[in-house]
Amino acid sequence: MSKKLSENDRMQAYGIAAMYEVMDLLGWDIGRYTTYKYECGLSYLWERLRSDPDGFARLSGNELFWMWWKNHWYLRESEWLRFCRRAYCKPDLYSALGTQFGRRTTYLVMNNPYELARGKTINSRQLEESYTRFMVPTLQQIRA
């Protein structure tokens, strides 16, 4: 009898598969990929809390922040992968994504932590609303 996967297990498996697909499309290894994701998380948080170094220190070491960050990273990556898949179906319209340089460029732009913090990229509004809803109370709770 085969064991059914829970929704959480399926999402985790999909996230891992997507991560490897992203790394393949970018030509990155696991070290470069995870370092980039981590550094972007820190940079994003610094941009949000530049005037609050204590808040930055507390939230950057908080597991809830990193779970939140990885969730939003996954959402952006899913969108980026859909964009890349469309490029393979219609290469004339998406010629830049036909090269590794083009894919890296669009990936870096989509995940630019400075622009994300300023609300200047795709999903910025969603990210801002989620940050206000989840991270602001988390920081308040950490300080209490």
* pTM (2 d.p.): 0.84
Tokens of 46: 């610094």
Of 78, 82, 87, 83, whose CA–CA distance to 126 is shortest? 78
Amino acid at 73: W
Of 45, 43, 37, 114, whose CA–CA distance to 70 is shortest? 37
* Mean pLDDT lowest among 4-8, 22-26, 57-61: 4-8
How crowded is the C-beta side of 73, counted as CA atoms within 13 Å? 24
Q: Is 104 exposed, middle or buried (0-12, 13-18, 19+ CB in 10 A)?
A: middle
Give the rounded percent of residues in the chain with a pLDDT score beyond 70: 89
**CA dist list (Å): 75 to 25, 110, 114:** 17, 11, 18
Tens of pLDDT, residue by residue over 84-141, are: 877 665 555 555 667 788 889 889 998 999 999 988 876 778 888 889 898 899 999 9
What is residue 62's DSSP assignment? -
pLDDT attached to residue 96: 61
Collect all residues with Cβ–Cβ distance below 8 Å to 51 and sequence separation of at least 6: none
